[in-house]
């Protein structure tokens, strides 16, 4: 196990900075904290997917997958028809994690084909059919190019409780 080394200088510098904290002017700290804006999540899009039968692909770790056969995306950021894709679950009992990855293409109403990748990792071993509120990180790629730096940060909530019956839902939110 690596050891953490602290020099006298770093330790004294930390102690010195902490000792100055009480004498800082309170109004300057209040003005700085009131100027900070908390991020908010606003609806970006909602996806309803039709999936094929669930398949078990591996034993250790256990892997499941299903084809995304179609569906519909609606919302202010993205609207269109889901073309094809795949959703995969990897349940790793050794690390007690579940990794979820989905990738699919959406034909927007303006005729542009958009790729969406959505990933997630969870600290408990859950089964795909019992997954109702999984947090994910969707990413939109337009015409093979990643969106520019000003593209929105997205978070999602995946409802895969209908995975065994061929229905999965994703609600995506833009962080502003």
pTM of the model: 0.70
Cβ 133 vs Cβ 157: under 8 Å = yes
Tell me: the pLDDT tens digits for 16-66?
A: 444 444 444 555 555 555 567 888 999 999 999 999 988 888 777 888 889
Looking at residue 48, its pLDDT comes to: 95
Q: Per-residue pLDDT for 14 more than 50?
A: no
Residue with tokens 């889901």: 82
* Each residue's pLDDT tens digit, 80-115: 999 999 998 888 777 888 888 999 999 998 899 999
**pLDDT of 66-85, one tens digit each?**
999 999 999 999 999 999 99
**Of 150, 162, 149, 87, residue with least CA distance to 118:** 87
- For residues 59, 137, 82, 166, the Cα torsion angle rounded to the nearest 10 degrees is 40
Is 56:88 a contact under the CB 8 Å cutoff?
A: no
Query: Which pLDDT score is estimated for 117?
Result: 92
Nearest to 104 by CA among 136, 135, 74, 70: 70
- Domains along the chain? 41-175 (2.40.160.20)
d(CA 11, CA 15): 6
- Could you tell me the CA-to-CA distances from 47 to 79, 82, 160, 171 in Å, in that order? 9, 8, 12, 6
| pLDDT score, position 50 | 95
Hey, what are 171's tokens?
């609600």
> In whole numbers, what is the pLDDT of the chain averaged over residues?
77
pLDDT single digits (tens) 133-152: 788 889 888 864 545 444 67
Token representation of residue 26: 């309170």
pLDDT at residue 37 in the model: 83
């Amino acid at each position: 196990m690596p050891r953490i080394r602290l020099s006298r200088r770093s330790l004294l510098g930390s102690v010195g900075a902490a000792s100055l904290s009480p004498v800082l002017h309170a109004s300057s700290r209040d003005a700085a904290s009131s100027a900070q804006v908390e991020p908010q999540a606003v609806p970006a899009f909602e996806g309803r997917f039709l999936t094929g039968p669930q398949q078990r692909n591996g034993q250790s770790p256990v892997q499941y997958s299903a084809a995304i056969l179609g569906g519909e995306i609606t919302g202010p950021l993205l609207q269109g028809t889901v073309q094809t894709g795949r959703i995969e679950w990897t349940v790793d009992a050794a690390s007690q994690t579940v990794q979820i990855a989905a990738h699919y293409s959406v034909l927007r109403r303006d005729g542009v084909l958009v790729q969406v990748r959505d990933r997630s990792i969870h600290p408990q071993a859950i089964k795909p059919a019992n997954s109702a509120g999984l947090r994910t990180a969707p990413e939109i790629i337009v015409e093979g190019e990643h969106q520019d730096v000003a593209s929105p940060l997205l978070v999602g909530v995946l409802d895969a409780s209908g995975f065994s019956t061929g229905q999965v839902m994703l609600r995506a939110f833009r962080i502003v």
